Structure 1
Amino acid sequence: MFDLIFDHYTIRVKDLDRSAEFYQNVLGFSEIENRTQKAHIRWFSMGEGRELHIAKGNSDIIKTNVGVHIALRLKDFDGFLSHLNRYNINRHNSKGIQDSITTRADGIRQVYFQDPDGYWIEVNEAATLED
């Protein structure tokens, strides 16, 4: 029918610089050109042409739970857990229980955590070296 391809995800944040620092330092996203040229928006590459846009605004009305999240995957899961510890980021499992991770039925480990505005992020251990 249609050949839709994921392009970008936009979130509203209270403090643009604080959120930008989080996405750069904690997740390693590179800031890219903001083609809107609007000062209240910053763009980040998520790899393979996918982007995250963060826009300064009132995020008080945004309510999320662990069931609504962006999911990423990587090979060095244990190294990433140590990385989260260095930034004092609370780890959760898929039910939102703190100081815990999830191991799926297929053996893949997952960790959930929140950005400075409370948006949930899931990071999965890659299943194979090709992932």
Structure 2
Amino acid sequence: MAAAVGACFNHLARESSDVDRLAHFYQEIFGLERIEGQNFGFKVIWLRQSPSFNLHLIERDSQTKLPEGPWSAKDDSLADPSKLFRGHHLCFDVAKDNFDSFVQTLKEKGIETDERMQPNGKTKQVFFFDPDGNGLEVSSRDS
């Protein structure tokens, strides 16, 4: 099957019962900028990191039956970043020169982290959760 002509990434959405708290986290930790968006009849906060990455934080529908994230589960072990499901995370990059400082900032904010080295032995990774329990990864990249 051929790729759609001109298709490109638009946004990633996260549902939350407290979109303001979640927006503050992404603005403070990753520097995302709050931008104006459309009115859908429910609260949505639009954040942008670059022209090609947008994050939409959507007010949780009280009728939904799905759990909000690992922290909404009864098993506290799911909030342990070392047990983050490998297929359920959002990844950002940080320049190698700033990686250790970034991880230290997370720790100073009381965010539990799991640091790893990729099998190539060159790329550092840190895994953690946002306030709703969504998995996050930050990996080091060459400047």
Give me the TM-score of the superposition, normalised by structure 2: 0.75
If each structure's helix is expressed as a fraction of its own residues, which one has the higher value?
2
CA-to-aligned-CA distance 1:53-91 (integer Å, 9 cap, x gap)? 001115852456432001110101111011102211110
Gaps of 5+ in 2: 71-83
What's the secondary structure of 2:38's corresponding residue? Answer: coil
* d(CA) in 2 for partners of 1:114, 1:72: 13
Specify whether residues 38 and 78 from structure 1 end up closer, same or farther in structure 2 by C-alpha distance, changes over 3 A only. Answer: farther
What's the secondary structure of 2:30's corresponding residue? Answer: coil
Aligned-residue CA RMSD in angstroms?
A: 1.9
- Shift of residue 14, structure 1, vs aligned partner: 1.4
Return the match for 2:44 from 41, 49, 71. 41
User: Aligned letter for 1:74?
Assistant: V
Residue correspondences, number: 120
1:88-127 to 2 correspondence within 5 Å?
88-92=110-114, 101-106=115-120, 107-126=122-141
Structure 1 stretches of 4+ moved >6 Å = none
CA-to-aligned-CA distance 1:35-65 (integer Å, 9 cap, x gap)? 3365510000021331000011158524564
Specify whether residues 35 and 49 from structure 1 end up closer, same or farther in structure 2 by C-alpha distance, changes over 3 A only. Answer: farther
Gaps of 5+ in 1: 93-100
2:94 corresponds to: 74
Give me the TM-score of the superposition, normalised by structure 1: 0.81
- Shift of residue 125, structure 1, vs aligned partner: 0.2
Identity %: 25
* d(CA) in 2 for partners of 1:41, 1:54: 5
Asked which structure has the greater CA Rg, the reply is: 2
* Greater mean deviation of Cα atoms: 34-43 or 115-124: 34-43
